[in-house]
Amino acid sequence: MARKCGICGKKAMVGSHVSHAHNVTKRLFKPNLQSVKMVYNGKVQKMNVCTSCIKSGLVVKAP
């Protein structure tokens, strides 16, 4: 499964490591994904969801 939020679609972004000597190399900024059992479209599903969606209340956790 892709490293992507099942609700907002947040995924890895490309950026740069910049050293003190200003040497630049590529790096990845990965989202903080958590595996959560939640109610989605009336069913209980296990999805990878970013923590910002969990904090904002977009995720209704399954009982």
Structure tokens of 49? 């969801």
1: number of CA atoms within 13 Å, CB side?
11
Tell me the pLDDT band of 1, cut-offs 50, 70 and 90.
Answer: low
| Residue 52 phi, psi dihedral angles, 5° rounding | -70, -35
For the chain, give the number of residues. 63
| Residues 60/7, Cβ–Cβ less than 8 Å | no
Name the CATH superfamily, with its identifier, for domain 1-16+25-63: Ribosomal protein L28/L24 (2.30.170.40)
Predicted confidence (pLDDT) per residue in 30-39, tens digit: 999 999 999 9
Predicted confidence (pLDDT) per residue in 4-46, tens digit: 999 999 999 999 999 999 999 999 999 999 999 999 888 999 9
Residue type, 38: M
